């Protein structure tokens, strides 16, 4: 196995381990075991678990389909709904065990690592900016109330989503997502 | 020092340690050190860290001023706003380092401990029920749109609050609370 592919396997294992167990709950050995790699190989690829966490967060963000919010097919409000339906279905598929890696890192390590806190803030900022952009498109298309500030709406919707994931992990039920879809699409934006 | 007061000190230390470091980040020794107690004394009072976490969560919930939502002075919508202002000010006072213990436990240990997941679900349920009750009062008083379901609103507002705390920990700024107050009180409920 080449050096490149082992690094990739460590990143993929780290995304899954951090996502399920959090930063403090996933040790270097858990990650190397999940990657099928000897523990000693870890430090050939990453200077620390913290450094790998920053890379894992970038990798996770790239899988959120954020680019499709503003440039995908369909109308803007439909794309916004599909975005959250995709994220909801992913949670259901994983048995409500994962939540959002960004929110998890914010909660369990962000206070204690400036590098991770910065990476979390940038991830939320990119996501929020894409949400604001599609909300602006939806306003132009007459689908969303033009009296609302897209940036404020985007931040609020993102916060509501992060909290909804907390509730879905606790309830382990798809019903936990209903208040989000009812209130955002049935009340807040119209 | 009597047995009762040492137990109390352990609970108080546990609330603070779990709140700041999460379940996995706060060890038994961190808690006994913070309580000024020998580590060996811990198991005279609690069978496990998990058992103490459940007690700490109850203690934390009792400090959320949930009872004042429905029975305090003032009008219902004013009480709802004061409730979240109190919680916001507490975050600011602690330098945005704590978030919500309920959300923290949901994220970092709820998947791995049925006892804690159950305690988290009950805490969120009690809080949500009190929010639904004050929202119902506000509807009767003509302060909140009567077309909305108080239970669905309550769940959504609570989720939005939990997500707002994540964002405030990451941004370390009071501005992180603005989308919540703007959208909930300026748009969602009216």
How much is the ipTM here?
A: 0.92
Q: What is the mean pLDDT of residues B114-138?
A: 95
> Domain residues for A29?
3-58
B170 contacts chain A (CB < 8 A): yes
B161 and B81 together in one domain: yes
Last residue of a domain, one of B58, B87, B105: B58
A157 and A76 together in one domain: yes
Give residue-wise pLDDT tens across range B1-57: 455 689 999 999 999 999 988 898 899 999 999 999 999 999 999 999 999 999 999
CA–CA separation, A158 vs A138, rounded Å? 17
A70 and A113 together in one domain: yes
pLDDT of the residue at A165? 94
CB contact under 8 A, B166 and A182: no
B41 contacts chain A (CB < 8 A): no
pLDDT of the residue at B98? 82
Tell me which residue in A109, A153, A159 faces B163 most closely, judged by beta carbons. A159
Q: Which residues contact B112 (CB under 8 A, 6 or more apart)?
A: A21, A25
Q: What is the mean pLDDT of residues B148-177?
A: 95
B189 contacts chain A (CB < 8 A): no
pLDDT of the residue at A187? 93
Give residue-wise pLDDT tens across range A82-107: 999 999 999 999 888 888 999 889 88
Number of domains in chain A: 2
A177 and A139 together in one domain: yes
B52 and B69 together in one domain: no
* Contact between B171 and B127 (Cβ < 8 Å): no
CA–CA separation, A60 vs A152, rounded Å? 24
CATH of the domain at B9: 1.10.10.60
pLDDT of the residue at A2? 52
CA–CA separation, A20 vs A59, rounded Å? 15
pLDDT of the residue at B24? 86
B184 and B102 together in one domain: yes
- Exposed, middle or buried, B138 (CB in 10 Å: 0-12/13-18/19+)? buried
Query: Residues B110, B113, B118, CA angle at the centre, nearest 5°?
Result: 65
pLDDT of the residue at B63? 87
Chain mean pLDDT for chain B = 93
CA–CA separation, A184 vs A188, rounded Å? 5
B38 and B82 together in one domain: no
> Smallest Cα–Cα separation from B161: which of A4, A163, A186, A179?
A163
pLDDT of the residue at A1? 47
B11 and B104 together in one domain: no
Last residue of a domain, one of A13, A34, A58: A58
CATH of the domain at A100: 1.10.357.10
Residue A3 banded pLDDT, cuts 50, 70, 90: low
Measure the CA dihedral B32/B35/B38/B39, to 10°. Answer: -10
A164 contacts chain B (CB < 8 A): yes
Last residue of a domain, one of B22, B39, B58: B58
A111 and A130 together in one domain: yes
Residue B173 DSSP label: S
B107 contacts chain A (CB < 8 A): yes
Nearest CA in chain A to B177: A156
B33 and B77 together in one domain: no
Residue A25 banded pLDDT, cuts 50, 70, 90: confident
Nearest CA in chain B to A185: B188
A124 and A139 together in one domain: yes
B95 and B24 together in one domain: no
């Amino acid at each position: 196995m080449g050096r490149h592919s082992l690094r990739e396997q460590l990143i993929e294992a780290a995304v899954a381990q951090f996502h399920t167990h959090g930063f403090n709950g996933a040790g270097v050995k858990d990650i190397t075991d999940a990657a099928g790699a000897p523990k000693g190989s870890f430090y050939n690829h990453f200077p620390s678990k913290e450094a790998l966490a920053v890379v894992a967060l970038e990798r996770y963000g790239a899988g959120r389909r954020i680019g499709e919010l503003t440039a995908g097919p369909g109308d803007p409000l439909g794309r916004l709904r599909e975005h959250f339906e995709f994220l909801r279905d992913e949670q259901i598929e994983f048995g409500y065990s994962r939540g959002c890696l960004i929110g998890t890192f914010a909660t369990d390590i962000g206070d204690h690592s400036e590098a991770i806190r910065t990476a979390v803030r940038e991830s939320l900022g990119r996501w929020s900016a894409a949400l604001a952009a599609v909300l602006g498109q939806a306003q132009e298309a007459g689908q969303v109330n033009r009296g609302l500030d897209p940036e404020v709406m985007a931040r609020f919707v993102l916060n509501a989503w992060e909290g909804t994931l907390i509730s879905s992990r606790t309830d382990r039920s798809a019903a936990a997502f209903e208040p989000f879809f009812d209130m955002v699409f049935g009340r807040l934006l119209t």
